[in-house]
Every structure is written in C-alpha cells, then in structure tokens.
Structure 1
Amino acid sequence: MRTIITQKIKQTVTFKSQLLAWSQQFREVVFLDSNDYQQKYSSYDCVLAVDAFTSIKTDHHNAFEDLKQYQQQTKDWLFGYLAYDLKNDTEALQSKNFDGLDFPDLFFFQPKKLFLLKGDEVSIHYLRMCDDEIDFDFEEILTYRQPTTDNRQPKIEQRISKESYIAKVTEMLSHIHRGDIYEANFCMEFYAENAKIDSLDIYQKLNNISHPPFAAYFKNNHQYLLCASPERYLRKEDNKVISQPIKGTAKRYTDEILDLKAKTDLAQNPKERSENIMIVDLVRNDLSHTATKGSVEVEELCGIYSFEQVHQMISTVISTVDNVTSPIEILRTTFPMGSMTGAPKISAMKIIEELEETKRGLYSGAVGYFTPTNDFDFNVVIRSILYNAENEYLSFSVGSAITSQAVPELEYEECLLKAKAMFEVLK
C-alpha cells in the first residue's frame, strides 16, 4: 500500500530543479519532464521516481515475458527502459557491434518514493512509509541546493568518418534500389573515453537549450541517460493506444521570415512526407496486432511542430485494445519503434546491423513507466547522451531516415544538425 499526500507548489520551475537535485542521493532515479510543452496526450507535467523497492534487470533473452510476469506480480508503478536490442527477443536477430556503455537490455524498478507534478500540485506516493517521512523529505526538497561541481570537457570522437558515412548510405541506397527495403534509419556514434562529467549539470544544460516534451534523466548506480527527446513512442490510457512517430526535420532560424519558410518547406517537402507516411503505415501495421477490429486510425498525418532547435514532422496513430490485452504485449508487438528502424522492419534491422558500427543499446530504445492500472507512457531515446561513470565512457548517436530520394551528403548534414545540442552542452 502507498501513502499518498498532495502538496501545493508555489514555484514549479524551482521545485522541479530542487526535486531533481535531491534525487541524486538515490541509486535509482527516473525524472521525466514535459517542459510545459502543450500536447493533447499528457497526464503529468513532471514525474520523479527514486529508490528501488524491487527491480528487474535482464538481457534480451525472454525479456518481454520476464517483464510481463514482473508487472503482473507488482501491480504497482514501474519505471525504467527498453533498449533497442530487445529486437533480438522478438525476432531472429542479433547485436554484435561494439558496445562501450554496457547497459542491460531491460531495466525497471518499483520506486519507494514517487512524485507526480501537475499544475501547482504534487501528489506524493510513498511505499510502506510513514507520513512523517513524506513531510521530512518534502521540507528537505524545498530547501535543497544543488552542489557545484566541475566538468572536464570530454574529447569527442566520431565512430564513422564522413567518407565512410557517405559510402555506407550509398550501400543502403543500393539495398533500396534492389527492393530489399523502402526506408531505413541509419545512425552513427560520437563518443569519448576517459570522460568525467557531472551528469546532472549536463542534463540540465541539454534540457535548457531544448525544452522537449519527453525529457528524461535516468540513473542506475553508475549508468546515466541524459535525454532531450521530442518524440513519444507509445502511450496507453484506458483502452486507447497512441503512437506519435517523428520523421522529417528542418533547422530553426532566429529570423521569423526564414523560420516560417523552413517550417513551410518542411510541410511541403515530398521526401520528408514520404518518409513519414512510410513509417505511419508501419505503425498502423504494428498496432493492428493488438487492436480491436477496425480501430486503427491516423489521427493526424504529417503535422509540423516546432522545438527550440528544430521543426519536426509528427504523425499520430491511435488504436483501441481490449481490457484483457496485456500492456507488455502491446509493447512487444510494436518494439522497436518504426521511426528508428525502417520498412519492412525486419529487413531494415538486419541491414542496419550490418552497416552500423556501434550497438545501439538504450539509444533508440524507450524510457517511461507503467501505472498500477496497466496504462503506460514511453518516449523514444533520441537527442540523448549516455554515460557509464564506472568505465568513463560517454556516447551519443544521431541518425536519419534513408529513402530512395536520399542524398548522402545532405543526410550527413542532418545528422550534424541533430548532434549540435549535445556538442554544445559538452563544451
């Protein structure tokens, strides 16, 4: 049973900062922030879960079944992530590329302490705790000050050179022209060895220059995710499932006329629209595996949304599921998300594995939570920095969708645009 108390908040921005700083004393932390971005589907403005009462950590083998049993046994709030390489659990695939981060393929925990912020109220849910502990912690949070620390600027290196990138995209285009695939998301890694950073400070800098709707700070002992994602993977509320894939990116400008032109050009760009529509078709197919008959709909096609760094083309696909459908089955039949794989999905993932040089791991996976009533909400892990403090390895990856109309040099420039924010905060 959870003890639940609601408190009024005077300065929500300050409170969120204090809450996140206070959370650093715990081994397990998930902090999710919508940054007040206006969106149709949202339950909370900010969520913090800390301190595992129970947890599950595993590689890809039988991972979704293990998670299903764990979720059914706890019947409680669960927070954690699904790494991209869980694809090997759902299909006859493998991941043999280099992995400098060494994160588990799946990790979830049942938090002892949970904070759900909406408007000027925070609902505090403690597991098997007394009221006095909640009051004590709340007062401590309100007076908490983040300690100042130093960052050592990491030396960022590029796993795939520009020349190699162009050659690999050219090879991917040959697969498309042969009819092996229609589209694939090709990614490359930037990394630093012997990196020593203040993860909280870097996350805050990344979030402050991006203000995305699906920001996430994750900590599991010495493993960190600093995420400024604009993309939702999948959400379930009651019997409704919502997927919002992103395909299509344009640079933002300080000049209003140029910025409006970039937004209009993106909306009318036939290549970007075709990328998005291909993935919408893939998502419709994925959702149909668990949807009630005739319930899969495209609620919005190729909508244009603006963020601090870029304009994005986003579609919304919805479906209805039966009450008896397991939330884990909905995730299993749609994972990994189509926007990070390609079409046809399995063929695209095989070609991606051949051409990429780094195991994706948590990058292009998903971070989120389950509620006690079988609802869930997960982002797509992009625009993110991953860090293993134990082996001092730092990594961030970027990618773009390759279709028959792709120009390798322009795809490379799109990757650099997406990497800009990570480079900026690590300087």
Structure 2
Amino acid sequence: MSPPRHREPLHHPLPWRDPWPLVQALAAELGREGLVWLDSDGSAQGPCSRLGLAPLEQRICRGLPGEARARDPFALLADLAAGGGHWMGWLSYEAGAWVEPAPHWQSPDMALLWAARHDPVLVFDHGSQQQWLEGQDPGRLSSFAALLERLDLGTAPASQPPAAIAPASWHWHTPPERFADQVEQVLAWIASGDLFQANLTACCEQQLANPADPLELYGRLRRSCAAPFGGLAVAGAAAAGEAVLSASPERFLRLDGTGQVETRPIKGTRPRHQHPDADADAAADLVTSAKDRAENVMIVDLLRNDLGRVCLPGSIQVPQLVGLESYRQVHHLTSVVRGQLGDGLSAIDLLRACWPGGSITGAPKIRACQRLHGLEPVPRGPYCGSLFRLGADGQFDSSILIRSLLLRGQRLRAHAGCGIVADSDPAAEAEELGWKLQPLLEALA
C-alpha cells in the first residue's frame, strides 16, 4: 500500500447563511442519499459543522472475518486515506472483530463500514459565523458555489413531517427489569476479578408504518438534543435505506495537522433539571460521586494504554481528569487524554489501535467485549461505533455513537448503556438507562 497522499484543500469563502435551512434546501436539490451532516453545536468541543452531499463515490464493508465476501474495514480505510480525498461515514462497533476476533462478535445487519467521498464539503464555523467550501477540484468548487448563489431557501419543498412515535410504543429487546438482572451478572464477574468495569447496553426498536425521511427525523432530534458531535449519515448505493442519526456529546479520536491526538472519554451522567437549585444539586452529586469518578479514571487508564501503542513515548498527557461538562439534557464527567502520534503512522493506525472505544466497552477491554456479547441480544451496529471524517490533509475526527438512532428501512432502533463498576446498584442503573433514552424517544413523540 502506498503512503497517504495528503493535500491541503482549496477554500472558497461564502456569505454566512443559517446552517440547518441550508442543509434542508440542498438536500431537496441534490437528494438525501450519500448525505453526511456533521452537526456541531458551536461549543468549544464542536466549533465547526460540515456537510457533504451527492458523493463522488461510496464504499462499504459488511461481514466479519471468515464470512463470505467480508473485507477488513480498517484495510479499506487505509486504502481510502492513501488515495486522498475527503471521506465521511460510520464505522460499526463490530468492526472490533477485525482487531480482536476472540469475542465471537455478532454480525450487524447494517453496514460495518460506510464511507462517502465528497468534493466539495460545505463548512460552517459557528463562532465566527464564517462559511466556506473546501475541496480539491476547482471546477466542482466553482459549480457548487454557483448552486449556492442561486439557491433560494424559501422555495425548498416542504416534506411531510414524520408521524409522532409514542415513547410507550417502543419494543424493548432488554426490558429494564431484565437489564437490572444483567447488571447483577456483571457485578458477579467484577466480584470474581474477571472484570473491573463493563459498559452494558440495551436496545429498543420501532417498526414504522411508512418509510421515514431521515432528514426530518434528525430535525426533530437536533431541536431538543443539540450536541458537540451530533450528525446524520444517510447511506446510498449498496447500503441504501440505512441511516445514522446522532446527538453524541463524546469525541472518540481526533488527529490534527501537527500529529497531536486527543480523546475525550465520558463516564458519569446525571439528568438536567429545570429548577436551578435541583440542577446544581444534580451536578454536585455527580462531581462528588466516588462510583462515577472510579468509572472515569479506569477508562482514562485504558485509553492511555491504547494511545501508548501508537504515540511517542512520554507524550501521553491528561490535561483534564474527571471534569464536569453540562449539556441541554444531561451533566457528564469528561476527561481529556492527548498524545503525539508516532512517526510514519496514520489516522487509521490510531483508529485500529484504539478500536472499539474504551468508554463503551470496559476493562479489561477484550474480556469486557467477550462478556457483553453473551448478554446483549442484538448487535450494536453503528451504535457505540463512530461517525467520522478523514480529510484529504490527513486530519481525522470522530465521535462515539452514543445518544443515537439507527434507521434501516422502516425499522428504527435506539440504544443506551451504563458503566458498571463494583459499587453499581442494579435498580439505579436500570433507571439511568431510562433517562438516557428519554430525550431521544421524546424528541420523536
């Protein structure tokens, strides 16, 4: 494989326009299939949003090692990086089978990897209210700029809003009482020394009466669940009918132009409250919780080890350990781990070394994956995987796909999970599962 061909993109500045109406108008003009909208909330963690439509090509991987026509998604990503271009898409949790086959992973029915190459990409800097096109082909850059100039946001055809989905109508694969029993099992493994921590997840689903427009569904989600690493990916080609809708607050991995790596694991959550005193009490309870701090610190240690496989010796730092970050629906404890990528290594080497993410597996990571496989009745698919962008300049950014909805045809799934440690309470973890899912389900109600 040849080394990646990194090229600085061309830029075409544009006048500022409100991002979401522009996304809707461009989707009406160019179609939904292949659309990727990396929808940041304008915070320090998510200052810029990016939109790609009408991709020049789409690539897909399905299957696990040993299955017919299966292909290593990390090898494909390395090939895409070597070829240049700006790629965005998702990587499913079960891609871990290509890193460590021992857990006997379940094969998801959504794409293991779906990636699309867009040229140009529309970029929005929310803080400075600057907007520009970024690409490699001057002709395409000019053509897209001309399209934007003549595009009238007031003439986009109104689409039929999706029918409301009652929260009580969702079917649980693991009901809350069963989830509490599973927490008891994880606690027994922890007590025996088999595990230190595990991120146990549950899934509910809805069979829609009619095909849904993922853009309209996502519009509902973003209105109530804005997040630094939100986004929408609507697959086309061989993955047509599949879409990921995310309101994730969690960065997985970022690689900048200087080779600096950053990961921002989240462990520890409390719901927000409308009354200021109750909200402050919830935040204080989280900050002083020994259980939540232990969860977070264990995952920081795990990620320091993962980054140490590919970063320069002595470069790993933790500039923020167990810091409070508050979002519209929840308070979180977030840590920040940084390092300097080793010479000659790429974003894909980094991704493979850290996959799957420590915050959504447990410690020890591989043993946690093995144990979780035996408890969770359906594959996670893109949930707990990553929504990512791989730039033509070699830079990389990605989220952990929590707080996310998965659409496949007329089936809509929502997942949530909880970190289990030695002093976890099964009933409290089942309750936490409910209020983590509540904002997603209420957004569609």
Shared fold (TM-score, shorter chain, > 0.5): yes
Task: Provide the rounded CA distance (Å) in 2 between the counterparts of 1:97 and 1:321.
Answer: 32
Counterpart residue number, 2:115: 108
Determine helix, strand or coil for the equivalent of 1:234.
strand
Task: Provide the rounded CA distance (Å) in 1 between the counterparts of 2:136 and 2:104.
Answer: 38
Match of 2:173 among 148, 159, 163: 159
Unaligned runs of 5+ in 2: 1-6, 66-71
Counterpart residue number, 1:145: 156
- Number of aligned residue pairs: give it: 416
C-alpha change, 1:131 and 1:360, in structure 2 (3 Å) is closer
What are the superposed Cα offsets for residues 159-216 of structure 1, whole Å, 9 maximum, x if unpaired? 1122221211111111111111100000000101244333222212211112211110
How do residues 185-264 of structure 1 correspond to structure 2 at under 5 angstroms? 185-196=199-210, 197-221=212-236, 222-237=241-256, 238-264=258-284
Counterpart residue number, 1:58: 61
1:292 is aligned with what amino acid?
L
How do residues 209-358 of structure 1 correspond to structure 2 at under 5 angstroms? 209-221=224-236, 222-237=241-256, 238-358=258-378
Matched, 1:178 2:195: no
Q: Is the 8 A contact 2:97 2:105 kept in 1?
A: no
1:188 is aligned with what amino acid?
A
1:226 is aligned with what amino acid?
L
User: In terms of mean alpha carbon deviation, does 215-224 or 266-275 score higher?
Assistant: 215-224
- How far residue 94 of structure 1 moved from its aligned partner, in angstroms, is 5.0
- How far residue 121 of structure 1 moved from its aligned partner, in angstroms, is 2.2
1:37 is aligned with what amino acid?
S
Counterpart residue number, 2:52: 49
* Larger strand fraction of residues: 1
- How far residue 70 of structure 1 moved from its aligned partner, in angstroms, is 2.0
Determine helix, strand or coil for the equivalent of 1:406.
coil
2:132 is aligned with what amino acid?
S
Structure 1 residue runs of 4 or more that deviate by more than 6 Å after TM superposition = none
What are the superposed Cα offsets for residues 238-297 of structure 1, whole Å, 9 maximum, x if unpaired? 210000000000111111111111111111100000000000000000000001011111
What are the superposed Cα offsets for residues 5-52 of structure 1, whole Å, 9 maximum, x if unpaired? 21121x4xx33332244225142011012111233xx5x521001222
Task: Provide the rounded CA distance (Å) in 2 between the counterparts of 1:55 and 1:199.
Answer: 18
What are the superposed Cα offsets for residues 112-142 of structure 1, whole Å, 9 maximum, x if unpaired? 3311112322221355435652233203444
Matched, 1:30 2:36: yes
Counterpart residue number, 2:428: 410
Counterpart residue number, 2:419: 401
- How far residue 88 of structure 1 moved from its aligned partner, in angstroms, is 0.2
- How far residue 325 of structure 1 moved from its aligned partner, in angstroms, is 0.9
TM value normalised by structure 1: 0.92
Unaligned runs of 5+ in 1: none
Match of 2:144 among 134, 141, 156: 134
1:51 is aligned with what amino acid?
A
Aligned-residue CA RMSD (Å): 1.9
C-alpha change, 1:112 and 1:344, in structure 2 (3 Å) is same
Determine helix, strand or coil for the equivalent of 1:187.
strand
- How far residue 96 of structure 1 moved from its aligned partner, in angstroms, is 5.6
